[in-house]
Structure 1
Amino acid sequence: MSQSTISALDKQLLLDALNRCVAACEHCATSCLAEEHVQHMVGCIRLDRDCADICALTARLVARGSEHARHIMKECIEVCQLCQNECGKHNDDHCQQCAAACKACADACRAYLG
């Protein structure tokens, strides 16, 4: 699917999912840092930060119609899946919300890629 055949609505839905994932990951990382046993959350925090960064980059590339968006989106899907899996291991609400946002983001990227 080329950039020209993607509707503005589809593009906006993808951007919304990417930006929700950025916010959820940032919130999760910050909340994990406040946990009593923060050393047990290091993997979660690292993935949250990586996921927020790749989603933000992907959103910028998609928004500007960059020819590199599709390539980066594949990496975004991979990192979102890793973050979803890690956050899904923890019972904290912020981790569960992050896992859900990561899943939704990866699904939106897959749908966009066709």
Structure 2
Amino acid sequence: MKNLMSVILLTSTLASTAFAEKIVCIGETRMGTKAQVEITDKAVTVSGGSLSAPRVFKKLAHANGLITARGLAVSFENHYGCIRRATIITEFTDLIDAGYMEVVKVGTCSGGSTPDDICGL
């Protein structure tokens, strides 16, 4: 039993280290400009849209497949290592906290534990 638990622990550790260093989702804002979100373990970086410089969110909360921070919400589905159906809610403008929240939906993102070419990117 102890050996079985060790194998399970080792397998789960290897699976978590196989996860990509970052997930990148690229979509389009309502104004038709490119929007990009990079997700790592420690931060979410939002760029594009009408932003003059990328915004980095570091105080992240993770719960039930949702990543949140003040002014940010990101959800996605993990289909066997392919990151799909991402929804990003944030401001893609320099007018931070002005209430110009936008919803950007992305069909498939790069990153994840399955290579992008298998996921259809």
Q: TM-score of the superposition, structure 2-length normalised?
A: 0.30
User: Over alpha carbons, which structure has the higher Rg?
Assistant: 2
More helix by share: 1
More strand by share: 2
Relative contact order: is structure 1 or structure 2 higher (C-alpha 8 Å, sep ≥ 6)?
1
Q: TM-score of the superposition, structure 1-length normalised?
A: 0.32
